[in-house]
Structure 1
Amino acid sequence: MSAVNGTNGAGGTPKISLRGVRKAFGPKVVLDGIDLDVARGESVVIIGGSGTGKSVLLKCILGILQPDQGTIRIDGEDTTHVTGREREAVMRKFGMLFQGAALFDSLPVWENVAFGLIQGQGVGRREAKERAIATLGAVGLTPEVADLFPSELSGGMQKRVGLARAICTRPEVIFFDEPTTGLDPIMSDVINDLIVKCVQDLGATALSITHDMASARKISNRIAMLHKGKLVWVGPTSEIDNSGNAFVDQFIHGRAEGPIQMQIRAF
């Protein structure tokens, strides 16, 4: 399968559906007509080099940025330009693991994990802490960690706390932004295993962006490659090594030679 769009074969309305999504910043076109469906319960990973528009695509889906053209639908509803309470209702369906975990330094771990419960759902602090501790257990952290501050945690522990925060509200869709950045290979694999387990336990839909192929292979059902604002290949993860696509082949093998030409500044 080498089509630029398609689902994993599941029927019904896609959980996420993008059609003709375009975004430019001045003369620079970052997204150039993106079509992509993500089925309910599916895990799709978008790969591509730095600066190819992966983060911009996520921000458009989240509503942080608005596309210049095209539509974004969640559960069949057009959310491209919704604001206010309508946007808040959409956001309640989402969980997010940020690159670098992005924890609040001034809050203890449990309040970081329970932030969405307290601020977004009005859950009382006692119940929120209990749920946060239970969620920390789901990512392999003991109750004692709950009262620590982010600065007291290793990078791998911070990433686990970020994952706990992403799943604590039991979201329908979880976004992962470079989930293994800054981690050693062993801890990266631990985080990948936790992502797979947590997404499956929740029955959630997952959309991730990464340039880490080990992570992409482990956490996805399908992979889509973004290059110069376009999805140049979308297919099952099992077919990535036999994609027949020169861009994909160069990227997954990390070759300097190929159709992807890196811009190197001369000094």
Structure 2
Amino acid sequence: MSMTAPAKIVLSDVHKSFGKKVVLDGADLSIAQGESVVIIGGSGTGKSVLLKSILGILRPEKGSIKVDGQEVIGMGAKARDRMMLKFGMLFQGAALFDSLKVWQNVAFGLIQGRGMEREQAHAIAIEKLAQVGLAESAGELFPAELSGGMQKRVALARAIATSPEIIFFDEPTTGLDPIMADVINDLIVKCTKELGATTLSITHDMASARKIADRIAMLYKGRLIWVGPAKDIDHSGNEFVDQFIHGRADGPIKMELRA
């Protein structure tokens, strides 16, 4: 990823609230074409809300979100449908369709989203399964017949099946043991580099963040309070970042208790 690459996604002063609960309070972030950015932060800090705002699932009250220079906030339905063709997504927990075979899960976006013939979609699905280290025979299984690690591989194959320009990863290693998590991290790096995709990930897993990120951003109280190269995370000079990455109870971040 070249530091002179044009911006693929730009968030400027993004605000989003739910009633009196302020979730995003002036979030700013620019992601270059081909760059991998990971957003870290505690539970409930707004990481998923930020992703959903970029996708247009949620509409911020204020600010600007641009993808390839196009304003996302307020975009019409047809324009949004066209824009969504640029995206791939690996959901938390894999989120596979239990009633569909593995190859049908991988090919879902090709058949339903692109109108591709099943035979052609099947061939691409098998190719993508091979990219994530799964045999053709795995394509005939159902998700319930797979281990957690294999399900994540299938989810990754589905995320890259349409050769998207942008891929979002929502807690890609949740529920995996450390070794399988590292395998998935390696596959994410390999597959996204092969595609040349721009990626935005959210995670609590610092080992994952360090491996897949070019830059890491920390979200706290609705703002991205630190953004920098992954290699600089251990000497960020930010006490909030330092507390979070080392998992310390003592520090400026205090757990908010709910009544």
TM-score range, shorter chain: over 0.9
1:218 is aligned, of 211, 216, 219, to 211
Letter in 2 for 1:115: F
**Which residue in the other structure is 1:3 paired with?**
none
2:247 equivalent to 1:254: yes
1:26 is aligned, of 19, 24, 30, to 19
Deviation sequence 1:91-120 (CA, Å, 0-9, x none): 000000000000011110011000110011
Q: Is contact 1:13-1:76 (8 Å) kept?
A: no
- How many residues get paired? 259
**Which residue in the other structure is 2:74 paired with?**
81
1:164-179 matched pairs, under 5 angstroms: 164-179=157-172
Deviation sequence 1:73-132 (CA, Å, 0-9, x none): 001111111132111111000000000000011110011000110011111000000000
Q: CA deviation at 1:13?
A: 3.3
Moved over 6 A (4+): none
**Which residue in the other structure is 2:146 paired with?**
153
Query: For 2:159 and 2:10, how far apart are their aligned partners in 1?
Result: 22
Identity of aligned residues (%): 68
Gaps of 5+ in 1: 1-7
SS at match of 1:258: coil
Deviation sequence 1:149-183 (CA, Å, 0-9, x none): 11111100000000000000000000000000000
Change (3 A) 1:124 1:236: same
**TM-score of the superposed pair, with normalisation by structure 2:** 0.98
2:116 equivalent to 1:132: no
Q: Is contact 1:171-1:204 (8 Å) kept?
A: yes
**TM-score of the superposed pair, with normalisation by structure 1:** 0.95
C-alpha RMSD of the superposition: 1.2
**Which residue in the other structure is 2:99 paired with?**
106
Change (3 A) 1:170 1:53: same
Letter in 2 for 1:183: L
Letter in 2 for 1:25: F
SS at match of 2:59: coil
Q: Is contact 1:44-1:224 (8 Å) kept?
A: yes
